[in-house]
């Protein structure tokens, strides 16, 4: 799932994660971030929020989940929640790099994720 996401195969990453979810119904906190990011990039913000909110609730110390949740809220049209989550991220993770998402191979995906984060104030 991770490799497919980083290589730009968003659909493949989603398919792999959803298959994994059939065998492992409680998605792991780390896997939630990758599936959430794939959903965000596939314009499925509501699905991303559905996966990421419980992951952040279970372990609020995972930077990637928190940041991708910001983008998920933006993608789902939930701007106020995105801004509130962005404030939480800034407070909890003051050293967050502006290069978040740099591992995405596809430029348009990096730009899309970056634009969503910027819209929320990150």
Q: Are the C-beta atoms of 45 and 81 separated by less than 8 Å?
A: no
Global confidence as pTM: 0.85
Assess if CATH 1.25.40.10 describes domain 2-120: yes
CB atoms within 10 A of CB 98: 9
What per-residue confidence (pLDDT) applies to 66?
94
Instruction: Quick: pLDDT tens for 46-72.
Output: 999 999 999 999 988 888 899 999 999
What per-residue confidence (pLDDT) applies to 122?
85
Q: Any idea where the domains of the chain sit in the sequence?
A: 2-120
Q: Is the pLDDT of residue 19 over 80?
A: yes
Whole-angstrom Cα distance, residue 92 to residue 111?
24
Of 27-31, 85-89, 96-100, the range with the highest mean pLDDT is 85-89
């Amino acid at each position: 799932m991770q490799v497919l996401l980083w290589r730009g195969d968003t659909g493949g990453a989603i398919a792999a994660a959803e298959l994994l979810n059939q065998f492992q119904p409680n998605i792991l906190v780390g896997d939630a971030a990758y599936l959430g990011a794939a959903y965000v990039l596939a314009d499925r913000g509501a699905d991303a929020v559905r996966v990421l909110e419980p992951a952040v609730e279970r372990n609020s110390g995972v930077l990637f989940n928190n940041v991708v949740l910001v983008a998920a809220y933006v993608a789902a049209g939930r701007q106020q929640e995105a801004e509130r989550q962005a404030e939480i991220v800034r407070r909890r993770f003051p050293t967050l790099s502006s290069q978040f998402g740099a591992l995405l191979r596809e430029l348009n995906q990096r730009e899309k994720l970056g634009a969503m984060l910027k819209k929320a104030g990150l």
